[in-house]
Structure 1
């Protein structure tokens, strides 16, 4: 599914080049549930952005489902994001003036799907995350956990093979976090590849393995025993 080969990423700061990723090679197989961890400034968010086609590597190759997308244009990367990747973020990123249903419809609008099919698929996605009774609610009428479930529904509505979640439980209490992580586990059991960036070891226990990033390099990539949040 994901194959990174000697990926580097650097940024210009005045006349200085700041290196964030320093030659990362990584393979994530189809159907894996992987957690990426690391301290602030380790490069894990930059790594996630490259995996999610939100950024491009300075050097190295990125193969997604066997296709080298390292040198894709911004338009080509946008198409990959819309067709192949679902995103879930800590701050939900829901549009406040749209209902839950309309928020979930958005990726399908960008994909050019007709209104009737959009509504049907959005409703099905919300039912899947247990929000069939909240479809017409605006975000300000939803709890944090419900907002994140809307975000998950939006992420899966185009039936992506890959879901990327960046600190998906960071704004949630423990009980709600368990519910959200169980949702990701269920999606993974259904065949979706899931990659979660987190600073919480309890969240990482839901993954098949944890990749530790420090100073722009992978320190370890090991399987861990799975156990629920507590």
Structure 2
């Protein structure tokens, strides 16, 4: 009788440990990520793509995390600028003015400068902010957004329209966030650190 009881307790304990391990190690939908209603892979975005805005202070802070996240996931992280309000749409035009001319996303140095220029203090005039943005472009050998040719402006609008479609079809409501495999949106608030974030991303890239 005692042997039977001990065996039962052992089985129950093992089941509890197993359940706890699964709960902790496997990212949960609704907590760490959610499935998108539309597959965004048709836009040929990177397997791991950050959705961000130059107007967002949290996105600016996320920049320092990205190198470690790329290392932990072994992925080059792409970027898509949101357009969910007029301020974000205007900032998207600034970002894609750089992407269009570089034919790739700006490097870390230029991204840092763009964030700083766009988020210049409220005590600065609109003219001062525009001058700061223009300086970032000229310092990197690029044409400032206000000086683009008509042909360049048309190309720029195509970039912005694609970003609009991704924002709308992905139903992106907050940034920063990440789209994984075009099918999943990371819930950043469900993670305490970059390692947890990388764990969820790796799980979604290679689901068991």
TM-score bracket for the superposition, by shorter chain length: under 0.3
Larger relative contact order, structure 1 or 2 (CA cutoff 8 Å, min sep 6): 2
Indicate the structure with greater helix content. 2
Indicate the structure with greater strand content. 1
TM-score normalised by the chain length of structure 2: 0.27
